[in-house]
Amino acid sequence: MPIDLKNLLDAMPELSAQLQELREILLANAVMFGEIPSPTYGEGGRVRFMQDRLIEAGCLNVSTDEVGNAVGIHPGQSSSASHILLVSHLDTPFSNSVDHTVKVHTNDMEGPGILDNSLGLAAIASLPSILEKLGIKLQSNLVLMGSSRSLGRGDIEGIRFFLERNLLPIRAGIVVEGGTLGRLSYSSLGMHRGVVTVNLPHNYDFSRFGATGAIPVLNRIVTQILGIPIPREPATSIILGSLDGGTTYNTVAELAQLRFEIRSEQVGMVGEISDQIDEICDEVGASTGMEITHEQVARRHNGGIAYGHPMVKTARGILESLDIKARPAPTTGELAALIEKEIPGITLGLTKGNRRHQFDEQVEIEPMFTGLAQLIVMLQAIDGGLCDVED
Amino acid sequence: MSKIEDWIEKNTFHHSQFFDQKELLKQKEKTGLTISLCIPTLNEEVTIGKEIVILRSELMERYPLVDEIAVIDSGSTDKTLEVAAAFGADTYFAGDILPEEGHKRGKGENLWKAIHQLKGDIICYVDADIKNIHPRFVYGLVAPLLYREEISYVKAFYDRPLAFSQGIRPSGGGRVTEILVRPLFSLFYPELTGLIQPLSGEYAVRRHVLERLPFPIGYGVETSHILDVYKEWGMEAFGQTDLDQRVHRNQETLSLGKMSFGILQSFLGRMEKMGMEGQLPEMHNILRQFQANDQHYEQVCHEIIEEERRPMIEVEGYRKKMGY
């Protein structure tokens, strides 16, 4: 029987209620992922856990690769099946030494990384068991993936590596994030993540006029970056993320660093601003005698599928029927890698949450089941061909 | 190999031996035994939710190794029971169980009343204050009972970190174990020193043993159980499982003093019942402690002879010198 979106939407309240019955599976996985520290480049513990869960659930080809992704295939019914990729990133900004205990209260859970992205991982790892318990059978194979090296310098290396080498034809991809329910990303922002480093050269002349070490020089660069004209439309921003320099009170700093990110919805804008920052560094370096470098640590290009793409339309329809306001927002996450490979994809959020990237990150329990129902219906719609572009 | 070493070799397990819960479930079905999990509580709202979620999901939903999970509470004034019930545990106030027996406040009371309230052939007790709760805390203790008929009482032991404000540091056994219980066992019941953490709050026991044990309601419950099981069923009835790390609240020294006092009461009471009162048996002078080499545990024996000098005034040479 052909799949009909209306039927799927009508069944959603019932699906959400059934998912509530199975909540321990999701909550327990979220706690267990959350309590495994997983800093970028140190995701090994979560990779093993993800693999264990996928193996136990009867997934095929459960494996990891050189960059530390965890991947398995939940087989579909059709022998000539297409593949739908579901991915969440494995890494968090928290180091191994942080207390990763997750607290479970009646209505919410809290702990470092629980929102971004232990809950997303838990949803993917729980999906085979949940689909089995609900008796939902898809024609397509689901490629379930925890991707490594996503954040910061990781530069979504995990999913890029996978998509570069993967031989499976991927029909569509869904990036699953803990927050926020209603989120709908279908395009990638142009982004440049950079580090400006000011170094005192060995032969630095302290007697030279204005010679005060690395910090004031970096300050001068910061001031000039803030003077770069930024268009309001299309939305563009420069985020000055962190400053670091020197060692103590009374010694001239030999090294200072600025970490920043440029984001823009306008094609080419990020490159233009990055070039201007290069020029600022060159000019300040020449006039101060400092060694100044500007290193790019991550880059995304603008792109994505259209607002009217059947996949986005279906996702909007699902949110609308749940009475949740869709919050379209471009992303710099895993979706960007799908876009680079021209695979239609979206990013969805599962629940409400707060204090992202704080030690007491929090997720609400109740909306998770609506979020999960949204994800399952989206999968059924893709599986049933409702999100394909007609030729 | 000494008798104690032999026992340690045969009856000490590591939870990783039983990680395959599918196999464990098959073994459970083969034995036909049912398993109840009891969590005694008093004001544990911070940790109880997570404990129920993890244990229910892993041990009832994923593999139905456990047949019931019950929280037995001493009269919490916080939301312990509300949170536990919200996540699907059966919850009981100890005072409502066997009301004709009255209600006493103490952990031992909850453990004792659990025998009446719960249905399982095996009851596994797990404390509610475990921050790093994991299903191994249950299957690691229950598994030896499913595989070894002669074992009736399995205790947990840990590489136990104590949480400090600076972070976490590893430690040996609990402080009361090392400075009170181990020296006592070394003196009077050397075989029992084979138990690495006799005071651990997690253990799984067969019903036919539990129902025959008296239960001190306070701190002495673990010590008295060990002595009673040892006297009635011998060392072969014990097993112990390494559950790796357990993160829990650290207790103040004053609380440890109270605990030691309760344990001493139970210990001396048992000695009296065993007819050792007033006529102390020969006291051994070997103190037995432990060191772990990977998953192999060996006893380190220290001969400690507390020699004693008489008062100087009784010494002839001294008396002479002083002109007494």
pLDDT in tens, B194-230: 998 999 889 999 999 999 998 888 888 899 999 999 9
Q: Which of A77-86, A174-183, A276-285, B231-240 has the lowest average pLDDT?
A: A77-86
Q: Taking CB atoms and an 8 Å cut-off, how many pairs form between chains A and B?
A: 47
Helix axis angle, A119-134 to A12-21, nearest 10°: 100
Q: What integer pLDDT is reported at residue B264 of this predicted model?
A: 87
Give yes or no for a contact between A177 and A348, defined as CB atoms under 8 angstroms apart. yes
Query: Residue B247 and residue A31: Cβ atoms within 8 Å?
Result: no
The Cα–Cα gap between B211 and B189 comes to 24
For A342-359, how does the pLDDT look when each residue is reduced to its tens digit (9 = 90+)? 999 999 999 999 999 999
Tell me the C-alpha to C-alpha distance, in Å, between residue A88 and each of A9, A44, A74, A143, A149. Answer: 25, 15, 16, 12, 11
| Beta-strand runs (E) in chain A | 60-64, 70-74, 83-89, 103-104, 108-110, 141-147, 170-179, 183-185, 187-188, 190-199, 236-245, 255-264, 291-300, 303-304, 327-328, 345-351, 353-354, 362-364
Q: Closest Cα of chain A to B88: distance in Å?
A: 9
Most A CBs within 10 A among B46, B54, B130, hence the mutation to make, goes to B54
Nearest Cβ partner of B83 from A101, A102, A106? A106
Q: Does B119 touch chain A (CB under 8 A)?
A: no
pLDDT tens, position by position, A8-36: 999 999 999 999 988 999 999 999 999 99
**Stretch A115-138: mean pLDDT, rounded?**
96
Cα–Cα distance for residue pair B10/A298, rounded to 1 Å:
56
Query: Would you state the structure tokens that stand for residue B58, as one six-digit string?
Result: 């892993």
Residue B167 forms contact with A (CB below 8 Å): yes
Look at residue A109 and tell me whether its pLDDT is greater than 50.
yes
In 10 A of CB A134, how many CB atoms? 14
Q: H-helix or E-strand containing A9?
A: helix A5-10
Q: What is the per-residue pLDDT for B267?
A: 87
Query: Measured between CB atoms, which of B54, B83, B132 is closest to A28?
Result: B54
Q: Which residue has the higher pLDDT, A296 or B294?
A: A296
- pLDDT higher than 70, residue B122: yes
**Measured CA distances, B30 to B89, B92, B139, B204 (Å):** 26, 31, 16, 19
CA distance A183 to chain B (A): 27
Which tokens sit at B162? Answer: 């104590």
State the average pLDDT for chain A: 93
Give the Å distances, CA to CA, from B177 to B4, B11, B183.
Answer: 18, 20, 8
Task: Kindly report the backbone phi and psi dihedral angles of residue B236, in degrees, each rounded to the nearest multiple of 5, phi listed first.
Answer: -65, -20
Work out the average pLDDT over A182-203.
92
B17: which 2 tokens? 């031996």
Per-residue pLDDT at A281 exceeds 60: yes
List the single residue in B88, B132, B167 with the smallest CB-CB distance to A35. B132
The residues near A202 (Cβ < 8 Å, ≥ 6 apart) are none
Chain B interface mutation, best of A21, A22, A27, highest count of B Cβ atoms under 10 Å: A27
Q: What is the rounded average pLDDT of the residues B46-74?
A: 94
User: How do strand B162-164 and strand B238-242 relate by DSSP bridges?
Assistant: unpaired
What type of residue is B101? E
CB–CB contact B53 A24 (8 Å): yes
Q: Is A252 exposed, middle or buried (0-12, 13-18, 19+ CB in 10 A)?
A: middle
What's the whole-number mean pLDDT along residues B32-57? 94
Taking an 8 Å cut-off on Cβ atoms, the answer to whether A101 and B54 are in contact is no
Q: Do B49 and A104 touch (CB under 8 A)?
A: yes
pLDDT of residue B218: 80
Listed in sequence order, the residues at least 6 apart from A1 whose beta carbon sits closer than 8 Å to its beta carbon are: none
Q: Is A163 exposed, middle or buried (0-12, 13-18, 19+ CB in 10 A)?
A: buried
Query: What is the average per-residue pLDDT within A82-108?
Result: 95
Q: CA angle B262-B265-B266, nearest 5°?
A: 90
The token duo for A383 is 């599986």
Mutation to test the B interface, candidates A19, A22, A24, A360, most B Cβ within 10 Å:
A24
Residue predicted with more confidence, A390 or B237 = B237
**3-state secondary structure at position A123:** helix
Q: What are phi and psi of A80, to 5 degrees?
A: -100, 45
Q: Cα(B95)–Cα(B225) distance, rounded to whole angstroms?
A: 23
Q: Do B53 and A129 touch (CB under 8 A)?
A: no
Q: Give contacts of B 58-77 with A, CB under 8 A.
A: 58, 60-62
Tell if the CB–CB gap between B50 and A104 is shorter than 8 Å.
yes
Kindly determine whether residue A106 and residue B82, on different chains, have CB atoms separated by under 8 Å. yes
Cβ neighbours of A103 in B, within 8 Å: 46-47, 49-50
B79 reaches A (C-beta below 8 A): yes
Q: Which residues pair with B122 in a beta bridge?
A: B35, B206
**CA atoms of A225 and A279, how far apart (whole Å):** 10
CB contact under 8 A, A31 and B167: no
Residues of B in contact with A359 (CB under 8 A): none
Q: What is the ipTM of this complex?
A: 0.77
Q: Best mutation site among B57, B62, B69 for testing chain A: the one with the most A CBs within 10 Å?
A: B57
Are B50 and A32 in contact (CB < 8 Å)? Answer: no
Please report the pLDDT score of residue A391 as a whole number.
62
Chain A residues within 8 Å of chain B (Cβ atoms): 22, 24-25, 27-29, 31-32, 35, 56, 97, 101-106, 129
Residue B292 DSSP SS3: strand
Per-residue pLDDT reduced to its tens digit, B299-310: 788 777 766 677
Instruction: Say if the Cβ atoms of B62 and A105 lie within 8 Å.
Output: no
Nearest Cβ partner for B57 among A28, A35, A101:
A28
Q: What is the pTM of this model?
A: 0.82
Give chain B's mean pLDDT. 87
- On whether the CB atoms of residues A50 and A86 are closer than 8 A, the answer is no
pLDDT tens column, B161-183: 444 444 443 334 678 888 999 99
Query: Hey, are the CB atoms on A104 and B132 less than 8 Å from each other?
Result: no
Q: What pLDDT is attached to residue B1?
A: 64
Report whether A244 contacts A257 (CB < 8 A): yes
Is residue B269 scored above 50 in pLDDT? yes
For residue B154, pLDDT over 50 is answered with yes
For residue A20, give the chain B residue with the closest CA: B87
Q: How far is CA A200 from CA A63, A203, A214, A242, A246, in A?
A: 47, 8, 6, 20, 11
Please tell me the predicted confidence (pLDDT) of residue A208. Answer: 65
